[in-house]
Amino acid sequence: MKKVVKFGGSSLASAEQFQKVGRIIRADAGRRFVVPSAPGKRYDKDIKVTDMLYSCYALAEVGKDFKKELAQIERRYKEIIEGLGLNLSLTEEFQTIAEKFKKNEGRDYAASRGEYLNGLVMAEYLGYEFIDAAEVIFFHENGSFDAEKTERVLAERLEGKEHAVIPGFYGAKEDGTVTTFSRGGSDITGSIVAAAIHADLYENWTDVSGFLITDPRIIINPEVIETITYRELRELSYMGATVLHEDAIFPVRKEGIPINIKNTNAPEDPGTLIVESTCRKPKYTITGIAGKKGFAAINIEKDMMNTEIGFGRKVLGVFEDNGISFEHMPSGIDTMTIFVHQSEFEEKEQKVLAGIHRSVHPDSVELESDLALIAVVGRGMKSNRGVAGRIFSALAHANINIKMIDQGSSELNIIIGVKNEDFEPAIQAIYDIFVVTRL
Ligand code: ASP
C-alpha cells in the first residue's frame, strides 16, 4: 500500500497535535509520503501562521520594521520544536527569511515559508527526507500550475523512495520564483503527489470526521457522508460546502485514486471516502445539501419569445459583454429568467438592463434580489421516482415558496431557488425529510 497523507493546519498547530500526527503515521506502514500545511489555529481566536506571514510581509513591503512580527512566528515553531524535544534550530532559516523580506522577495514567498518550515520540522520529527516543494512543483510564468513538468520531475524525484516530506501550498516558476496555490492549496499538493507516485489512497487529515451531509451552522450535528463521488463532491463544493480545496480532486481523479477525509483528533472514525464511482448504495437517497445566498434573478418577458431564434444567445451576450457569469437559466414559453450573483450584478445592473432592451426589445424586465440557491445532490436520485416530489412537499409543509427549480438530465442534482430568508428553514426541511425520517 502506498499512501499520501496530507495534514491540515489545525492538525499541526502545536507539539501535541504533531504527536497525534506522528502516531497516525507510524500506525500504518503505507503512510509514506507526508504533505504538511503550516501551523494553524490552536484555539478559536488564534492566528494561522500563514496569516501572520502575510501581515509580517505587508510591513516589509512598505519598508516598515517587521522584527517583532517575525519573532512571533519564530516562537510558534520554537514551541513546537521544544515540545517535541527535537534537536533542530531554525535560526538560520529565519535570518534568510528576514533578508528576503527586506529585499521584497514576494507575497507568495512569504506565505510559503509556513509550509516550508513546518516541512523541515515534520521531516526531522519523523526521520523522513525533506523535499523542498520549490524543486518539484512548478508553475507557469502566468502563475497557473504546470502539471506536465511537475508530474515528470516529481515522479522522477520520488522514484524508489521509501519516505518523504513535501510541504504543501507552494512551488516555483521556471526562474525559481516561489509561487503558491490559492488559500488551502496544500490539499492540491497532496493530490499532485498522490497522482505522481500512483498512490493507492490519498488521505486528507483535518479536524472533522469527514464531509458532512450539510452545513453544521444550519443543522446541529449533521451526519457524515460515508462515500461520495467526485462529481457529487464537485456539485456540493461549488455550492459552498468546504472541506477540501476545489481543485484538489483533479490530479487524483485523473489517476482514479480515492481520497479519504480523516480526523486527526478522532483517527478511528472512518471519515468520508471520495471515489470516481461506486456500487455502494448511498445511505440516504440524497448524498448532501449545500447552498448559497446572494443571488439575483432577471426575469425577461416577451410575447412569442419562443419563435424568435437567437433570443437566448442575444440575452446571454449582454451578460457576457458585461463580464457577468450566469448560474441558471430556467425558461417558459414567453419568459426567461437568468440567475446571477447579486454582488457581481449590482454594479452593472443598469448597463445590463439597457443592453437587454436594446438587443431583444422585451415586453418587460423585472429584477428580484436576495435569493438563495440550494443544491440537493445525490447519485441515489437517479431513476428514483418521487425525489423532487418529496422535496417540494417538504418545502410546502414548511411554508416555503419555491422560486426556481432546475434539474439536469444527469439527475445528480436538483437546484432550488428560494428567498434568502427561507434558506435555512428550507435546508432544515429537506434534511429532515431525507435524513431524519430516512425517506
Ligand atoms: N497554509 C495555507 C493556508 O492557510 C495553505 C493550506 O493550509 O492548505 O491557506
What is the number of the ligand 1 atom nearest to the C-alpha of 48? Answer: 4
Answer yes or no: is 6 a known binding residue.
yes
Secondary structure of 62-102 as H, E, C letters: CCCCCHHHHHHHHHHHHHHHHHHCCCCCCHHHHHHHHHHHH
Q: How far apart are CA 415 and CA 413, in angstroms?
A: 6
Give the count of alpha carbons within 13 A of 383, CB side only. Answer: 0
For the CA of 180, the nearest atom of ligand 1: 5
Ligand 1 neighbours, Cβ below 6 Å, are 9, 37-38, 48, 50, 114, 168-169, 183-187
The closest residue, in CA terms, to atom 2 on ligand 1 is 184
pLDDT digits (tens, 9 = 90+) for 361-393: 999 999 999 999 999 999 888 877 888 899 999
Residue 408 has pLDDT above 80, yes or no: no
pLDDT at 433: 93
Query: 100, 186, 172: which is closest to 133 by C-alpha?
Result: 172
Q: For residue 278, is pLDDT > 90?
A: no
Instruction: Evaluate if residue 438 carries a pLDDT over 80.
Output: no
Q: What is the average pLDDT score of the chain?
A: 94
Residue 439, pLDDT above cutoff 70: no
Answer whether residue 410 shows pLDDT above 80.
no
Give, for 353, the enclosing helix (H) or strand (E).
helix 349-360
The pTM score is 0.87
DSSP letter, residue 128: P
- Cα of 2 vs centre of ligand 1, distance in Å, is 24
For residue 283, the model assigns a pLDDT of 83
Query: According to the model, what pLDDT value does residue 292 have?
Result: 94
Name the band, by pLDDT with cuts 50, 70 and 90, for residue 436: confident
CB atoms under 10 Å from CB of 264, counted, come to 19
Which of 52, 107, 169, 244, when mutated, tests ligand 1's pocket best, judged by the most ligand atoms within 8 Å of its CB?
Answer: 169
Mean pLDDT of the 37-60 span? 97
In the DSSP assignment, the letter for residue 246 is: G
58 CA to centre of ligand 1 in angstroms: 18
Reported confidence tier of residue 281, pLDDT bands at 50, 70, 90: confident
What whole-number distance in Å separates Cα of residue 341 and Cα of residue 294? 6
Instruction: Looking at the CA of residue 184, tell me the nearest atom of ligand 1.
Output: 8
Instruction: Kindly report, residue by residue over 137-184, the tens digit of the pLDDT.
Output: 999 999 999 999 999 999 999 999 999 999 999 999 999 999 999 999
Q: Which atom of ligand 1 is nearest to the CA of 51?
A: 4
Q: Is 206 annotated as a binding residue?
A: yes
Q: Range with the lowest mean pLDDT among 57-61, 175-179, 214-218, 318-322? A: 214-218
Identify whether the C-beta of residue 418 lies closer than 8 Å to the C-beta of residue 372.
Answer: yes
How many Å apart are CA 392 and CA 402, to the nearest integer? 8
Residue 325 pLDDT greater than 90, yes or no: yes
Q: List phi, psi (to 5°) of 261.
A: -85, 125
Residue 324: phi, psi to the nearest 5?
-110, 130
The grid coordinates listed for 213 are 451531509
Q: What is the percent of the chain where pLDDT is above 90? A: 85
Alpha-carbon distance of 175 to 34, in angstroms, equals 26
102-106 mean pLDDT: 96
